[in-house]
Amino acid sequence: MNFRLQAGAAESSFCNILVIRDESDINHPLLEGMSATLERKIRDKDNGWITWYGKDEVRIIAILKDSNGKRDHELTEEARVKGAQALKKANYEKAATATVVRVSDSVSTEEMEAFIEGMCLAGYQFLRYRTEKKENTVKTVGVENSGLDQGALDMIAAVTDANFAARDLINEPVLQMDSVQLAAFAAESGKKHGFQVTVLNKQEIEKLGMGGLLGVNKGSSVPPTFSVLEYKPEKAVHDKPFILVGKGVTYDTGGYSLKPGNFMATMKCDMSGAAAVIGTMIAVASNELPIHLIGLVPSTDNRVNSDALVPDDIITMSDGTTVEVLNTDAEGRLILADALHYAKQYDPELVIDLATLTGAAAAITGNLGAALMGTDTKYREILINSGNATYERLWEIPYWKEFADMLKGDIADLKNIGGPVGGSATAGKFLEHFTDYPWLHLDIAGPAFLKEDQDYKQKGAVGFGVRLLFHFFRNISLR
């Protein structure tokens, strides 16, 4: 993370950030002399800020809105957005230190946690390729009267770091983050954070008969990799492991079903699912959650050369299924299918895959959330609730059995596309064919990569899924 969190006031704090909600808060000593202005601002529905300048300090007053009629996750999201705005204001004032103060219990501990999280997330910067690096000025943030101890603050910082790691992976161009480099990053992360990583090379992938991963890789000069990440604490709360599978297409041209130029410019983000898996492994291991967790990351780019797959080709998957490749831009499901079959050997408690899989899902959710489908019922609502809590929201799409009928092949077992309707559902049904365990699929094509800044999320990679999945695993580990 780009600044340090500490319980208690930051030393020599030039900037105090006061979090209030209503008139009961205006008697705090740091708000002395502001009562008339505060009363007016609290009633003002469009402005939730006051900035007060003293001789040697600046006070930023963040006013949270009335809580009446709002659900808990709506209140915490408002606080998260306020936290992001507060950090931007502190950086604007060129403050090196800041102290956040909850003025009274009118603001809940959960809202304060979200406020601090919003500040942390808003601090992300990707400056590696900038000649002139304009770094944020805030380096230390103290937190007073929040209900959060240093352990809670350290957890926020660790999850933020994991989210930033995922964002960095996605923001890197393919020249610096191909399939081999992605696997190397996963291995280094394992050494640093305490989980095991095994990377299978092309020869080992060939022995496993992973026709989907090998087929998509045929057009590339960079070999594919298949990374197995495992965190296995001594006292895991479940006998069976949870498994995460992440699509790791480091760049997607569409292959011979070539993408139009205006759709290709951000295709370094097509490994956002893989980045989410690696980031979640970092978050879970760093916080030592009692969850046996395995991450599977099949990785390649999708390029065009004389050896690349063409429409009408037929490939054989690792489970023996034959697939007519009718569209080479429907490549993500091919590499995920091999990984989902590989997961069977673990007899998992639950498998969740994440992928920037279909434009059809993005058309449903936009960048406001991800599409959800799958076969599991035990954990589905818990995951949806975690999505609301973190505001990495999930929405179940129609997933009727008839969508599977659209994938029946003409001269092979399956086709890799289903036709003009239900594109996200048919993609899900294709993946389901390779599962025999409880499974959920998150199509994150909509929220993975932003064209403009959005509150605590910057233009570019979002790292969608890391915060959601950490909250999910922490939640079930406490049950």
Is residue 165 within 8 A of residue 193, CB to CB? The reply is: no
Instruction: Tell me the CB-side half-sphere exposure of residue 130, using CA atoms within 13 A.
Output: 7
Active-site residue (options: 41, 59, 65, 259):
259
Is residue 349 within 8 A of residue 335, CB to CB? The reply is: no
The verdict on whether 259 is a catalytic residue reads yes
Active-site residue (options: 89, 218, 333, 474):
333
Which sequence positions are flagged as catalytic?
259, 333
